[in-house]
């Protein structure tokens, strides 16, 4: 009996381990199947970006109202300020807007990154640790007594036609260059920092094109201070662009979206008008010659060889004049003043003594 119990004990332990591993694998597979397959679409991210932009505009308006009402913030105290009740209502509204803005930004980040990715990776790692992939055990279950056979790996390789687009004769690589994952997929934007207005420069740019696009940005808007921004063309909107020089998001600019708060018909804060000096002399340096000419003493102008002949004077004869004269018949020269008190007739009147 003792011998039988000793012989069956390892078998029972193996069966128990297999049952425990099977239950663990079943639970992990169930959790993996229950994960939601959520995909962040461009429309969803666009909705969140639009909501964040509108909230920023309303928040800026509320802060302007607070400043006009003479109210202070928690860190700034204004003496002889506005009505305390009105200031309390405005500060409460601003606090709610700021909380809502933080919530919108957090939800957008969750939508872009996705919460299920980390959980999915942890479950897959647990499945591999617990040996839930039965197909991989076949590689370790070879018979040790089986004779070793050597293979010709060159003969077992698939034909070149099966590689498809991996081998190309035109020298074009299907993979992006090593300069970065964003090579050729960026859109650069020229931002006017005085009011936040922006317009596109190029749609298929790479980091190597930033210097060129920055020069184009300055050339298109020489009358104002500009800065080059960029964003991923396929997955990001213009509201998500960041600075090409500092990496700061556009939404953190002091004048972000300030051009939207301007009323209809109101003149802009700034513009891209070309200065008069730049418009009249676009290339001032080109007008200056690089050749230096040393001028000597100028000689006096030589006197004229012959003096101009005097014009012949002829007497004027009106009868022989061929010039046609057209004009009114002038009145005779007035010799006396008109007496307005004692007029005698339609003609000129002599001075009368009263």
Q: Give percent above pLDDT 70 in the chain.
A: 50
State the pLDDT at residue 179. Answer: 41
pLDDT one-digit tens code per residue, 149-206: 555 555 555 555 444 444 444 444 444 444 444 447 889 999 998 888 899 999 888 8
d(CA 258, CA 271): 13
Check if the beta carbon of residue 190 is closer than 8 Å to that of residue 221.
yes
State the pLDDT at residue 136. Answer: 47
Q: Is the pLDDT of residue 25 over 50?
A: yes
pLDDT one-digit tens code per residue, 301-353: 555 555 566 677 777 777 777 777 676 655 555 555 666 666 666 655 566 56
Please state which of the ranges 79-88, 114-123, 213-222, 272-281 shows the lowest mean pLDDT.
Answer: 272-281
Give the DSSP H/E element, type plus range, for residue 186: strand 186-192
pLDDT one-digit tens code per residue, 86-114: 888 899 999 999 999 999 988 887 777 65
Give the DSSP H/E element, type plus range, for residue 214: helix 210-220
Structure tokens at 148: 């070793």
Mean pLDDT of 122-132: 79
**According to the 3-state scheme, what is the secondary structure of 18-32?**
HHHHHHHHHHHHHHH
Structure tokens at 2: 């003792």
State the pLDDT at residue 285. Answer: 43
Q: What are phi and psi of 192, to 5 degrees?
A: -90, 110
State the pLDDT at residue 180. Answer: 42
Burial 257-283 (b: 16+ CB within 10 A, else e): bbbeeeeeeeeeebeeeeeeeeeeeee
Residue whose entry in the numeric block shows the structure tokens 């007496």: 339
Strands 198-205 and 226-232: unpaired
d(CA 219, CA 108): 35
pTM of the model: 0.31
Q: Is the pLDDT of residue 28 over 50?
A: yes
Neighbours of 140 (CB within 10 A): 6
State the pLDDT at residue 132. Answer: 81
């Amino acid at each position: 009996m003792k011998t039988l119990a000793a012989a069956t004990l390892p078998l029972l332990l193996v069966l128990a381990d297999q049952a425990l591993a099977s239950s663990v694998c079943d639970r992990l597979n169930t959790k993996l199947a229950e994960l939601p397959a959520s995909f962040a679409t461009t429309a969803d991210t666009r909705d969140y970006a639009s909501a964040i932009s509108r909230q920023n505009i309303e928040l800026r308006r509320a802060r302007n109202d607070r400043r006009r009402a003479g109210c202070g913030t928690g860190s700034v105290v204004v003496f002889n300020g506005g009505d305390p009740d009105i200031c309390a209502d405005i500060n409460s509204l601003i606090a709610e807007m700021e909380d809502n803005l933080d919530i919108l930004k957090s939800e957008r980040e969750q939508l872009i990154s996705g919460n299920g990715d980390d959980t999915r990776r942890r479950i897959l790692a647990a499945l591999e640790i617990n040996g839930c992939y039965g197909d991989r055990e076949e590689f370790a279950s070879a018979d040790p007594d089986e004779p070793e056979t050597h293979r010709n790996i060159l003969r077992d390789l698939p034909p070149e036609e099966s590689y498809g687009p991996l081998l190309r004769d035109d020298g074009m690589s299907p993979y992006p260059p090593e300069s970065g994952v964003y090579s050729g997929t960026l859109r650069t934007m020229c931002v006017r920092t005085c009011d936040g207005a922006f317009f596109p420069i190029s749609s298929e740019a790479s980091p190597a094109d930033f210097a060129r696009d920055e020069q184009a940005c300055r050339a298109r808007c020489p009358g104002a201070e500009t800065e080059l921004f960029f964003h991923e063309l396929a997955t990001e909107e213009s509201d998500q662009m960041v600075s090409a020089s500092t990496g700061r998001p556009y939404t953190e600019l002091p004048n972000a979206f300030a051009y939207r708060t301007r009323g209809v018909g109101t003149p802009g804060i700034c513009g891209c008008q070309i200065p008069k000096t730049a418009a009249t002399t676009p290339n001032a340096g080109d007008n200056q010659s690089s050749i230096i000419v040393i001028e000597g003493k100028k000689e006096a102008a030589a006197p004229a060889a012959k003096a101009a002949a005097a014009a012949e004077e002829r007497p004027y004869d009106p009868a022989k004049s061929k010039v046609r004269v057209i004009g009114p018949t002038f009145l005779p020269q007035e010799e006396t003043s008109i007496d307005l008190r004692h007029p005698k007739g339609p003609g000129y009147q002599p001075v009368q003594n009263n």
